[in-house]
Amino acid sequence: MKNYKIIIQYDGTKYKGWQRLKNSDLTIQGKIEAVLSKMVEHKVEIHGSGRTDAGVHALSQTASFKIETPKTEKQIMDYLNRYLPDDIGIISVKEADERFHARLNVKSKTYQYRIWNSELPCIFERKYTTQITSTLDIERMKKAAEYLIGTHDFKAFCSNKKLKKSSVRTIDFIDIKRVENEVLITIQGNGFLHNMVRIICGTLVEIGLYKRETDSIPEILNFKIRENAGETLPAKGLTLLNVEY
């Protein structure tokens, strides 16, 4: 069988996340597996670079799978796009090395959180942004974000209190900028815990609203207690931008 690498875009609004669920067909993985299985007439399992949560979007999610088919790469992509829902799209299909695995070979991921920072409504981007009406102090947020760069134990920024694996991760950079009424928080790291990006962004937002001090981050990291960090911002503002191998 040949091994394939695909790049996927999706609007996660109505889905229960990436990961296949037994009692629901509203997952990204489940939808793609169903179409591939129909195409080759046997069950196909795909592996994503990671599990995006319910309501989270992706501009460039990566997945891999092994199938035997006479179809070309373009024919596979055309078939998938023909039968997948309109809010899931395949933008690339390439044959990969037989040892390539979309999750195990990841070097880094980049996420972006979009905040509509205005009292005015944002009609056409409302599904992809979280509205915060009070003005955010971007410079305070940038200063606080510097404490998160590097390798740390991010247990305080994880929603899974029963996590058994290591909660140590490395963040390469956090870029925060304002573009007119929108505040964009872009984070790249070697991996992320459950809700980690949304909790980091929630903590930075609280700092931007003067609800926390800019130098409160080291203490949050050191004590490793979830309740010490900020709120988990809504899923709809988060998009997986890119996965590097």
User: Would you list the DSSP string of 115-131?
Assistant: EE-SSS--TTTTTT-EE
pLDDT digits (tens, 9 = 90+) for 33-88: 999 999 999 999 999 999 999 999 999 999 999 999 999 999 999 999 999 999 99
Tokens 């409302």 belong to which residue? 126
- Residue 116 confidence (pLDDT): 98
241 in Cβ contact with 197 (< 8 Å): no
Q: Compute the distance between CA of residue 126 and CA of residue 238 in angstroms, rounded to an integer.
A: 12
- Residue 76 confidence (pLDDT): 98
- Residue 162 confidence (pLDDT): 87
Residues of the chain with CATH 3.30.70.580: 2-96
Amino acid at 178: R
Residues of the chain with CATH 3.30.70.660: 108-244
101 in Cβ contact with 40 (< 8 Å): no
By C-alpha distance, which of 204, 196, 70, 232 is closest to 146? 204
pTM above 0.75, yes or no: yes
CATH class of segment(s) 2-96:
alpha beta
Sign of the Cα pseudo-torsion (21, 24, 25, 27, in order): negative
User: For residue 4, how far is the Cα from the chain centroid?
Assistant: 22
CATH class of segment(s) 108-244:
alpha beta
- Residue 24 confidence (pLDDT): 85
Q: Which residues of the chain have pLDDT under 70?
A: none
Q: Catalytic amino acids?
A: 53
pLDDT digits (tens, 9 = 90+) for 108-118: 999 999 999 99
